[in-house]
Amino acid sequence: RARQHYLRIQQLVETFPLFSEVGEDALEELLLLFNPKLASPGERVIRRGDRGDSMYFISSGAVEVRLASGAVRLEPGAFFGEMALLSGGRRTADVIAVDFCQFEVLERRDFNMFMSRHPNLRTIVSEMAQKRTEMNVMR
């Protein structure tokens, strides 16, 4: 049982490099906050213009972020849905599953709590959101 738990933590770090920033205790906590979610090919996971209350981490499969200017493909290890959480605004793009997907979902409340306790992680996520925003403005 303990070993299985340890393996899940190890797997979390292997799949999501950004979590190598946080310690083992924090990862244990994250495992409790994560809600698993599945999607099928073609399924819309996020609708542009909606209010967003959750962030997604891709464990397996792939999604397409559909922007006015084209599509960006995201694969295991990537995350999405962080922008609406950080801005308090609306979803900036449609996100469509293009394969059978497994996600770990973090709700807004848990996101805020976890990120306030791990500011270095918040910085990484914010910088990614900033980069994406710049990319969308330029395209």
Among 12, 39, 93, 105, binds ligand CMP (CB under 6 A): 93
Q: For residue 94, which of 67, 76, 74, 69 has the smallest C-alpha distance?
A: 67
**Can residue 61 be called a binding residue for ligand CMP (CB under 6 A)?**
no
Q: What's the token pair of residue 42?
A: 């073609």
Are 48 and 93 spatial neighbours (Cβ–Cβ below 8 Å)?
A: yes
The residue range among 14-22, 85-93, 100-108, 110-118 that interacts with ligand CMP, by the rule CB under 6 A, is 85-93
The residue range among 10-18, 21-29, 37-45, 86-94 that interacts with ligand CMP, by the rule CB under 6 A, is 86-94
**Entry field: residues in the chain:** 139
Q: What's the token pair of residue 113?
A: 């709590």
The residue range among 17-25, 28-36, 83-91, 117-125 that interacts with ligand CMP, by the rule CB under 6 A, is 83-91
Among 16, 19, 57, 80, binds ligand CMP (CB under 6 A): 80
Query: How many alpha carbons fall within 13 Å on the CB side of residue 74?
Result: 23
Token look-up 């449609």 returns 94
**Can residue 132 be called a binding residue for ligand CMP (CB under 6 A)?**
yes
Q: How far is the CB of 45 from ligand CMP (least distance, A)?
A: 9
Q: Which residues contact 109 (CB under 8 A, 6 or more apart)?
A: none
**Can residue 72 be called a binding residue for ligand CMP (CB under 6 A)?**
yes
Measured between alpha carbons, how far is 132 from 135 in angstroms, rounded to an integer? 5
Q: How far is the CB of 63 from ligand CMP (least distance, A)?
A: 9
Residues that bind ligand CMP in the complex, under the rule CB under 6 A? 46, 52, 65, 67, 72, 80-84, 91-93, 95, 132, 135-136
